[in-house]
Structure 1
Amino acid sequence: MTASLPSGLWSDDPATVDLLSFDAVAQTVADALLDDSLDPVALGLSGSWGSGKTTVLGLVAQELDRRGTSEQKVLVIQTDPWRYDPSTGAKESLIAEVLDALAGEVDRSATKTDKAKGLVARLSKRVDWAKAIKLAAKSSLTLQIPDFDALVELVKPKEEDKQSVRGLDDFKDEFEELLASEDLKHIRAVVVLVDDLDRCLPETVVQTLEAMRLFLAVPKMSFVIAADEERVADAIRTRFKATGRPDESDEERQDPATLYLHKIVQTTIPLPALSHFDTQAYLLLLQMQTAAKPDQLTTLIERCAQIRRQGRGIDDIGQVDGLAMDDQLAFAARLTPLLYEKLRGNPRYIKRFLNDLRVRQSVAARRGIDLDPAVVAKLMTLEALMKTEFQLLLGWFAKGEMRDHLERLEDEAGRPALASAPSVNEQGDADSVDTPPQPRRAGSTRRAKTATSGQFSQAMVRWAKLAPPLRGLDLSPYLTLAASFAGVTLIDDSLPERLRDIAANLLSDSRREQRSVTDPELNELGDGDATDLLRHIGRTMRDQPTKQKAGVNAVLRLARLQAGLATAARDALLMLPPSEVTMATPVQFTASDSAPIRSVLTTWKGKLPDGPVKRAIDSVLTDRGTA
């Protein structure tokens, strides 16, 4: 029994269930935000793309909500500068979001004093004025608004308003006064959670940071900036260079971008990448999300968290009542080593890999590709994470050498096969049929030879060690599909170009295309070209069993047209593994075929167990006097 993925795909949205014990990070962040000695404070939450920053912000919001009360509320404002309207400016957009949230709290306050309402109105006018100036400046450059004064009218004070509040001058003082007002006495802290800042253009990054430092950094205000710190610093570097700021600092010649960022962000909490155990547990939990009931999943998550704290392994997870997860555990154990290394402990990359795998399995199944899900997973690992090695596999496949190479690769990886029948090499030499089947032991002569061959990279050998083994499987439909997805043309470049169209037509499933290659055309082939063509057809039949009928027909056709090709044709036919000879193949032989060709049937018969195919071969040999 092998593991299969659940139906459907995993959402790329931030997780609502904490599968990775990120609550430890969220609680640490919440402690700092509510520490009165750090008021006001700006914290960084740094991690690469897909590391779970947005998920942690959601956990921080939940934790702050849990710690607040109606008398001491923690007002959480979640914002995403990446989505700001660039025409109005990031600075003004962030300030407006904060003011809107505070205006709602003022309206809901018990006192509802005119002072607080007046402060909100004045501060909002300052923001509107700043937006208007910015929009007017940009519009004048593009000649969209010819009349600057017309735009200024949008924020012109009413006649009864005696005070003009143009610009953001004195904003910070009035903002601090608002937060200290009686109407907001119930607010213990205002926490702004800033997401996706590392996706923004340099101008937006700097304006957002400036808004925090220059206008909003007053008591009761706190910020959490979830972003890749180095990307934010890169944006600052770009902005500083554009404004003519020096590339070096007088403070021990440190990077000015980093100094600028650290002036605003007091400390940065790095989001840890997934460990080997985390990766394995994450793979397990993602699969169990659809298979487990809510209480079972909660138990499983808690056990994973406990094992993580105790430094134990996934084998210690035990059983959960009513929950079967052996297949999912095997799947996680099989893929963890490569996913942990290649995806660098990134939760989003892991989900994307699983989604890609699920899509490939679904498409393959609907194309009639009947491969075990574990086989597809192993091939997808090579395709998605080891692209150079996958191109090598496609090259073997295109040349009809895949099975030979895979057998040698699995020998080298310590996956030798039990020899159930004598082998036939490419030249058609058969091992003695009198030799009883023997397992290839690790210490055998062949094993020692391949182990030191150096033919395969360490990465390729390591991949071959993954379960399940691929020896003897028909991978051709999957590889053909994968090549089409990758836009790779499968061409045997060892076959002369002048023969490629002939080979493609002879091996086609279409009788019309097969007949398009005429006998005179085949008769005109020289011995060298004909031998190359036969070898290509033989290798193709070996790697692509679905080509067997067309391939056998093509080989027999060439042998009947040119008597001198009998030996080469025999060798080509013997490349077809006897265990894969179908019932339709023996009947393609005739009594008039040459002795070397007829000997193929005898060889196959000697290598096959009793069964319908062997009886069909025996019938053909008997009826045609060749038994």
Structure 2
Amino acid sequence: MWADNETSEDLLGFNVHADLLIDIINDESVLPITIGVFGDWGSGKSSVLQIVKEAFDKDDDKDSLCIYFNGWTFEGYDDAKAALLNSILKELEDNKKIPDAIKDTIKEKAKKLWKSIDWMRGAGMVMKNMALPAVTAYFTGGLSLVPFAIQKLSEWGNNPEIIIKKLQSDEGKEIFNSFIKEGKENDKNTTNAVAEFRKDFTELLDATNFKRLVVIIDDLDRCSPERIIENLEAIKLFLNVPKTAFVIGADPRIVKYAIEYKYKNNKEIEDDNNRIIIDYLEKLIQLPYSLPRLSESEVETYISMLICKKEIGDNKFKKVLDEFKKYRSTNKYSAFGLSNFEKILEADDFRKVKDNVITIPSLVPLITNSLYGNPRQIKRFLNTYTIRKRLAEVATLQNFNDAVLAKMMILEYSEPKLFKKVFEWQIIQDGVPKELTDIEALCKDKGIEDIILEIKESDFKEWNKPKIIKWFQIEPLLSGIDLRDYYWIARDKLENSITATSMIPPVVRALFNELLPDNMTSTVTKSLITEKFQPFNDIEKEAFFNLLSSNLKRNPQQKRLYDIFNTMIEGKVENTVCHYIETLKIISISDIEPAVATRLADFKSEPEIGDFLNDYFKDGKSKASKAFNLKK
């Protein structure tokens, strides 16, 4: 099994990306800079950032201080902005690279900055329900509230409990509003807080004698929209502070969701929403750097290296990893696999690796295509593959072929609807579906385009995608194979495919949450599905359907969930009908509201779902059935 954690151990050949970022940051002429390391969920961003951190953490680099901040870890803090600033100051005070001789100087210069952070955290705790944006605006160039706040609060005495109680009262709200009013009137005569903060921080950084401060912010895309914005606003405090480099790892789509969320109630801004998002990101991030998806040779290398490490252990694997680094320095295009391992490993170790890797290379093109070159998805695929192999061994299944298992899992992962179709075929044919033999015959000795045309004219129209045709063509062929054992070990996944049990990508959860409001119009719903769902890759689309389906099964009376499904059917979104039908099969008709049934009646004549709905509501006894059948 392989842990789903970031690592500085480079099995992907991603050192080249880390080395580029390190080279840029080491160039003093480009500082200050904010770099966005962008990539999909699970694309390897965190591993690249770990490699960068490890490089700057080396004891012999006396010129650099690197601070790593995981935004998700601080999700539960009262003020994520203060948490980030707190981490930076704490590291500056206590880092082992700072000589003891200047530590007292550093702490003295940090005092004023600590006061600013304490104020922010306190303001956030007691006023977050009373126009918190106005309070935090003080620290990002907005209202100069602190002088007025201190004056008013001092009138209430020194007891914190009394002050908090007063702030939460109607009187507190009125006084808070007066803070804002006075702040606006006197803003021209007060010191700019941001400029002051940057000046104080610059002096602190100068006192450390570091040539560069590198702040790595990871897992930003796992945070809630509010937390993402708080972290971005904190970074804005440091813009143009000399000798700083902020490196942010995130899925850019999630960051855009958060910015949209920030401005969603501003009517003036909503009219030009896309321009605002672009401007916000361009002002914050000077250098966007997108990680590429893995190529076929990189996927083969990654899988081979993962299996090799698991089979021979960490100590012996160090030699393999060293040889891999040398190989990559001269050859960035070819796979590093069995032929290379044979030259490095002793015979017994090589045999163990070979026995586990041998079924994989022929399937690599399909794995690459189905998993979109995504390291996390590949790792999860291999973990499931390993568990099922073990289950087959424990259950002493006879004539079990690991290559057939891997091939069936690819279909399960990339085309769960077709995977279930094969299940239905084999269950009534003693495990050997004739249909697979027929389709394999259509796919034999012809070009992809010719095969697609033939399949479109056959009874197997839904199998006409190029990647499915390649799946049929690749060894091992499935004609005459008894599939019962393979479906037996996958039986826990037949109701919920592998992707259903995988973690939901943040970008999928963000869209789902955006679609949830009950008062959202049909027009807006259609627009979001067109603009945000349709660009998803197949894995993300499947994850969205699974999330929508699982929520509807748990909350069958939540009308909005049906509305989303209905809108997707009207938009002819691929695979919607099969997911909707599978979901409705689980839901009791008694849990369906009449209004939902009336809406579903609009699809009575739809070819794919109409027959199912007419049969589903045929009893005529429940309120939902009566409502469905009432509508002509």
Indicate whether the TM-score tops 0.5.
yes
Structure 1 residues 196 and 75: alpha-carbon distance in aligned structure 2, compared to 1, 3 A threshold: same
2:32–2:243 CA contact under 8 A, matched in 1? yes
Give the aligned residue type for 2:24: A
Letter in 2 for 1:464: F
Structure 1 contact 50–346 (Cα < 8 Å) conserved: yes
Quote the offset at 1:335 in angstroms. 1.6
Counterpart position of 2:325: 302
- Give the C-alpha shift of residue 317 in structure 1: 4.4
Letter paired with 1:350: I
Residues 582-615 of structure 1 deviation map (CA, whole Å, 9 limit, x = unaligned)? xxxxxxxxxxxxxxxxxxxxxxxxxxxxxxxxxx
Task: Check if 1:467 corresponds to 2:475.
Answer: yes
Mapping 1:276-315, distance limit 5 Å: 276-292=296-312, 293-302=316-325, 305-306=328-329, 308-309=331-332
Alignment match of 1:271 (pick from 282, 291, 300): 291
- 1:393 maps to which residue? 422
Shift, 1:258, TM fit: 1.6
- 1:196-207 equivalence runs, <5 A: 196-207=219-230
1:524-535 matched pairs, under 5 angstroms: none
- The amino acid that maps onto 1:36 is E
**Which residue identity is paired with 2:233?**
E
1:179 equivalent in alignment to 2:205: yes
Aligned to 1:376: 405
Match of 1:180, SS state, is helix
Q: State how far apart, in whole Å, the 1-side matches of 2:360 and 2:489 are.
A: 25
5 Å-filtered alignment, 1:550-565, equals none
Question: Structure 1's 171 and 306: CA in aligned 2 closer, same or farther, altered over 3 A?
Answer: closer
**Per the alignment, do residues 463 and 304 of structure 1 end up closer, same or farther by CA in structure 2, a change over 3 Å counting?**
farther
- The 5 Å alignment of 1:84-95 reads 84-95=74-85
CA contact (8 A) 2:216 2:247 kept: yes
Go from structure 1 to structure 2 and tell me whether the alpha carbon gap of 1:105 and 1:350 turns closer, same or farther (over 3 Å shift).
closer
1:495-527 deviations in Å (ceiling 9; x for gaps): xxxxxxxxxxxxxxxxxxxxxxxxxxxxxxxxx
Decide whether the 8 Å contact of 1:140 with 1:146 is kept in 2. no
Match of 1:14 in 2: 6
Match of residue 280 from structure 2: 260
Q: Matches of 1:481 and 1:224 in 2, distance apart?
A: 44
Q: Is the 8 A contact 1:106 1:116 kept in 2?
A: no
1:188 aligned to which of 211, 234, 238: 211
TM-score (ref. length: structure 1): 0.61
Q: Distance in 2 between matches of 1:44 and 1:116?
A: 29
What RMSD over aligned residues (CA atoms) do the two structures have, in Å?
Answer: 3.5
C-alpha change, 1:310 and 1:414, in structure 2 (3 Å) is closer
2:370 to 329, 342, 347: 342
Q: CA deviation at 1:108?
A: 4.8
1:311, distance to aligned residue in structure 2 (A): 5.6
Q: Equivalences for 1:176-575 in 2 at 5 Å?
A: 176-181=202-207, 184-185=208-209, 187-215=210-238, 217-243=240-266, 246-247=269-270, 255-292=275-312, 293-302=316-325, 305-306=328-329, 308-309=331-332, 317=340, 319-321=342-344, 322=346, 323-324=350-351, 326-328=354-356, 330-370=358-398, 371-400=400-429, 402-414=432-444, 454-456=458-460, 457-459=463-465, 460-487=468-495
Q: Whole-Å Cα distance in 2 between the matches of residues 247 and 451 of structure 1?
A: 47
Partner of 1:99: 89
Cα distance, 1:485–1:310 mapped onto 2, change above 3 Å: closer
Shift of 1:411: 3.5
Moved more, 266-275 or 385-394: 385-394
- 2 CA distance for matches of 1:464 and 1:86? 48
8 A Cα contact 1:119 1:174, kept in partner: yes
Deviation at 1:353, TM superposition (A): 0.7
Tell me whether 16-25 or 308-317 shows the greater mean CA deviation.
Answer: 308-317
Name structure 1 gaps, 5 residues minimum: 1-8, 153-164, 416-441, 489-627
Structure 1 stretch 100-109 or stretch 262-271: which is displaced more? 100-109
Q: Which runs of 5+ in 2 are unaligned?
A: 132-159, 168-190, 497-632
Change (3 A) 1:303 1:327: farther
**What is the DSSP-based 3-state SS (H/G/I as helix, E as strand, rest coil) of the residue aligned with 1:242?**
coil
Q: Distance in 2 between matches of 1:107 and 1:224?
A: 21
Aligned-partner SS, 1:222: strand
Q: 1:26–1:63: 8 Å Cα contact kept in structure 2?
A: no
Alpha-carbon distance between aligned partners in 2 of 1:359 and 1:299, rounded to the nearest angstrom:
29
Q: Deviations over 1:533-592 (max 9, x none)?
A: xxxxxxxxxxxxxxxxxxxxxxxxxxxxxxxxxxxxxxxxxxxxxxxxxxxxxxxxxxxx
Higher-Rg structure is 1
**Further displaced range: 31-40 or 84-93:** 84-93
Closer/same/farther in 2, CA of residues 364 and 189 from structure 1, 3 Å limit = same
Distance 1:78 1:225 in 2: 10
> Does the 8 Å contact 2:228/2:255 carry over to 1?
yes
CA deviation string 1:414-456 (max 9, x = no partner): 49xxxxxxxxxxxxxxxxxxxxxxxxxx9xxxx9xx9998344
Q: Which residue of 2 aligns with 1:27?
A: 19
Deviation at 1:366, TM superposition (A): 3.0
Equivalent-residue separation in structure 2 for 1:355 and 1:106 (angstroms) = 39
Counterpart-to-counterpart distance in 2, 1:383 and 1:75? 47
Show CA shifts across 1:336-387 (max 9, x none).
1111111111111111111111122223333343312222212212222221
Map of 1:45 onto structure 2? 37
- SS of 1:226's partner is strand
Q: Identity percentage over the alignment?
A: 28
Find the aligned partners of 1:396 and 1:188 in 2 and give their Cα distance.
67
1:147 has 2:172 as partner: no
Contact 2:219 2:250 in 1 (8 A): yes
Alpha-carbon distance in structure 1 between the residues aligned to 2:77 and 2:21: 33
More helix by percentage: 2
- Measure, in 1, the Cα distance between the counterparts of 2:385 and 2:220: 31
What's the secondary structure of 1:331's corresponding residue? Answer: coil
Q: Distance in 2 between matches of 1:254 and 1:273?
A: 26
